[in-house]
Amino acid sequence: MHNRIKTQLARGESSIGTWQMIGHPVVSEILAQAGFDWVVLDIEHGVFDWPTALGHVQAIQGHGCPVLFRLPISAPEQFKWALDTGAEGVIVPMIRTVEDAQRAIGYAKYPPEGERGISIGRAHAYGAAFDDYVATANAETLVALQIEHIDAVRNIEGICALPGLDVVFVGPYDLSGTMGLMGQVTHPEVEAAMAHVVRVAQQAGIVPGLLIMNPKPSEIAQRVAEGFRFISIGLDTKMLLDAAREMAARR
pLDDT at 98: 98
Asked if the model's pLDDT at residue 251 lies above 90, the reply is: no
**What letter represents residue 46's amino acid?**
G
Q: What is the pLDDT of residues 51-91, one digit of tens each?
A: 999 999 999 999 999 999 999 999 999 999 999 999 999 99
d(CA 125, CA 202): 36
Give the dihedral sign, CA 39/1/89/141.
Answer: negative
**What letter represents residue 109's amino acid?**
K
**Of the residues 2, 45, 56, 124, which is catalytic?**
45
Q: Which of 14, 1, 12, 3 is nearest to 230 (CA)?
A: 14
63 is catalytic: no
What does the pLDDT average to over 141-161? 98
pLDDT at 1: 84
Asked if the model's pLDDT at residue 43 lies above 90, the reply is: yes
Q: What is the pLDDT of residues 187-242, one digit of tens each?
A: 999 999 999 999 999 999 999 999 999 898 899 999 999 999 999 999 999 999 99
pLDDT at 25: 95
Give 24's pLDDT tier (boundaries 50, 70, 90): very high
Q: What is the pLDDT of residues 85-140, one digit of tens each?
A: 999 999 999 999 999 999 999 999 999 999 999 999 999 999 999 999 999 999 99
User: Residue 30: what are its φ and ψ, rounded to 5°?
Assistant: -65, -50
d(CA 70, CA 206): 19
Q: Report the predicted TM-score, pTM, of the whole model to 2 decimal places.
A: 0.96
pLDDT at 173: 95
Residue 147 three-state SS? strand
Residue 210 three-state SS? strand
d(CA 89, CA 142): 4
pLDDT at 222: 97
d(CA 190, CA 56): 34
d(CA 85, CA 95): 24
